Chains A and B, each alone.
Chain A
Amino acid sequence: MLRFCRIGRLGACLGVLAVLLIAGSAPEPLHAQAPTLVRYWLWLDDPTEPMFDQLVKEFNATHPTIKVEYQLVPLSEYHDKLVTALAAGAGPDAGRFKDWWLGEFVKLNGLEPMANSVAKWPGRGDVIENLWNTGKITAAGPVYMLPHQFITFYLYYRRDWFAQAGLKPPATFEDFLAAARKLTDPAKNQYGFGLRGGAGGQDQWLAFMVAGGARMVDTQGKVIINSPEAVKVNQWYIELFRAHKVAPPSAPTDAYAQVLGAFQSGNTAMMAHHVGSSVLVTQKLGAANVGVLPIPAADPAKPATMATMSGNVVFAASKQKEAAFTFISWLSENAPMDKWSGSRQGQLPVLKSVSRLPRYSENVFFKVSLDGANYAIAWPPLPGVGYVSAQAWQANMQRALLGQIGSKDMLDEIAKALQR
């Protein structure tokens, strides 16, 4: 009897506890919705920088219905990992993306066209108009990549060496070659120009190609990189190394680290790169000793350089396309973009309002870069650009620099790879 009383009291206590618990949780909505999860991939030039983590925290705090989770992947592995993850159905909803891969992924139906979302996006009028094309396959077609950060190539030169040699900063191909020859002295291991024949050198090469008047494609999108005009410009570029010997003997395999190191350590007088290296260059050599110029042109009346865009895309396989677009369009808003461009990842902001801020408009490296945006030419959105930039250009440029093939053979190979 006593035992039954105890059980009865215990049951009553549990009942009261249950009622209290239910009552305590009553103010919560009965069906509280979990935030929509957006998985985002990106690479960062300096992955130790907390800038992006802070941006994600800020977004998650101000957008309670969306939760962004991100994954950092090194750029060198980004393409491979993305392809395999998407093929396995385990890809992200959105990601940072290069214009190099646009044609390839659109051909594979891997990217979501964003025409409708972009039309409703309030920030669209603030984007530098010329840059929308970097995210499209055709000018009239839909946007697949939302422009975010871009670079244009320019020329660094040793202002102190030019002054000592009585040289003017070069504006034309002729001036450039003359200066490079005068500043080359192999006995002192000193060369006029840091030609980049190794990994990533295709951007530097394309900057000189378009500045020389060559074009990748014509207005109809037909590949013309192996046209007689392009062969001539390419021959001039190859001869910088082969005939005039104004580039270090290591040029065929020199990548960014080698070209930057040679310029910083006084082995080269000129280097073509972008704003991303401006801090490293001026820290090492002193701001007074480094000048910056647009890429010299064959015809100064027709300046040109190359631009490459790192934008953001939503993947076609995503089930959270709307939330994914909300996040990537937020990244392209004024304050997040300023935070990104002002960080160590520092590339050029695509928003006119941000580029007018004093920290960009009054910085000579940003200024020359942003001026270049008006006449810069990007890689065409062809399916083969990813392969050309990852391997085909490097192998064939090196063969041309070593004299194993001629300028025309090299460009025929590039044209074939672009059109595959």
Chain B
Amino acid sequence: MALPLFLLSPALALLVGIVAYPIGRAVWLSFHRLEILQPDLTRFVGLEHYQALLQDPVIRIALQNSVVWVVGVVVFQFLGGLVGAIILNRRFPGRAVVRGLALIPWATPSVLVALMWTWMLDGNYGLLNDLLVKAGILSRFQPWLAQPWSALPAVILADVWQGIPFFAVMLLAALQAIPEDLFEAAKIDGASAWRVFCHVTLPLLLPTILITTMLRMIWTANYMDLIMIMTGGGPGYSSLTVPLHAYYTAYKRLDFGYGATIAIVQVVILAAAIVLYLRQLRANEGMVQ
């Protein structure tokens, strides 16, 4: 018993150091008012930050935006990735080159993606506006990032563009692992292409779909670089998400205790959403089988 524990201890120490300690520290912070440069003056405030959270109108907006952001990004990235994977799985001339090129958005640094899309969506001389006006779809340029109704969708569009290759590559790998004879057997039994997709392809892709969407939900919920650079959470609070609100509160208002409280609420909500999602998918998996 002692030897296995001894052998596991480096990994355990690492986990405690990089996972348990930061989480514990964040929980501790949420019950304290931290004086960042004068730690001696830091004091216990109990549930004060959690009570303040209930009165904070901005957190409600940030929560709504976070839901739209995560759902919008993950759904469209998944759909785009699925279509991309099916196309890339077919045989066509230059497939290897196209497969490589398709990875470019995923390989592009987030800051570059944000700046590139900011200029493409610019309200004065952006490429997108120019194309839409020349095509007769718009009569005049639209300030996509400066209107409350379009700011968050515009940032979602940029992130969807960046994230589609992730889903495409993961699903392509899963598609390639499906034995050809299953498709042949279904065809011999007279199944249509749609039925083959629903009853052969999709059930066998489900484990990959499950893990990739879950990972993407977690990443997207915590991801704020793109929003911070493209809109800063604005206009107003139109694109402010929970992690961005936590960041501004901690680092710009220097209220680390309340910032940690916001972050903990996000972790709890995210954990609950992931548990519900896994349960639902497992139930569906059972139905498919």
Contact = CB atoms under 8 A, between A and B. Distances in A.
A396 B232 CA distance: 13
A121 B68 CA distance: 58
Interface of A: 79-80, 83, 86-87, 104-105, 108-110, 186-187, 189, 197-199, 248-254, 258, 261-262, 265, 267, 386-387, 390-391, 394-396, 398-399, 401-402, 404, 420
Interface stretch (B17-25, B34-42, B263-271, B281-289): B34-42
A55 to B, nearest CB: 29
Contacts of B146: 197, 249-254
Given A198-B234, A395-B237, A404-B236, A87 B37 contact: yes
A387 B37 CA distance: 16
A265 B37 CA distance: 46
Contacts of A258: 122-124
B145 interface: yes
B234 A249 contact: no
Contacts of B37: 83, 86-87, 105, 108-110
B254 A387 contact: yes
A64 B122 CA distance: 52
B33 to A, nearest CB: 13
A249 B38 contact: no
A249 B36 contact: no
B195 to A, nearest CB: 49
Contact of A267 (B125, B145, B235, B252): B125
- What's the dominant secondary structure at chain B's contact region? loop
B32 to A, nearest CB: 14
Contacts of A87: 36-37, 39
Interface string B24-53: 000000000001111100000000000000
Interface string B233-258: 11111001000000010011110000
B207 interface: no
A398 B234 contact: yes
Given A249-B146, A253-B231, A391-B248, A267 B124 contact: yes
22 contacts: A79-B252, A83-B37, A83-B251, A87-B39, A104-B254, A108-B35, A109-B37, A189-B140, A197-B146, A249-B146, A250-B123, A253-B143, A253-B234, A253-B235, A254-B123, A254-B146, A258-B122, A261-B122, A387-B252, A394-B234, A398-B236, A401-B235
A420 B142 contact: no
- What's the dominant secondary structure at chain A's contact region? helix
Interface string B200-241: 000000000000000000000000000000011111110010
A253 B145 contact: yes
B141 interface: yes
Given A253-B143, A394-B232, A109 B38 contact: yes
B251 A80 contact: yes
A254 B39 CA distance: 38
A386 B125 contact: no
A185 to B, nearest CB: 12
Q: Which of A253, A386, A391 has most chain B Cβ within 10 Å?
A: A253
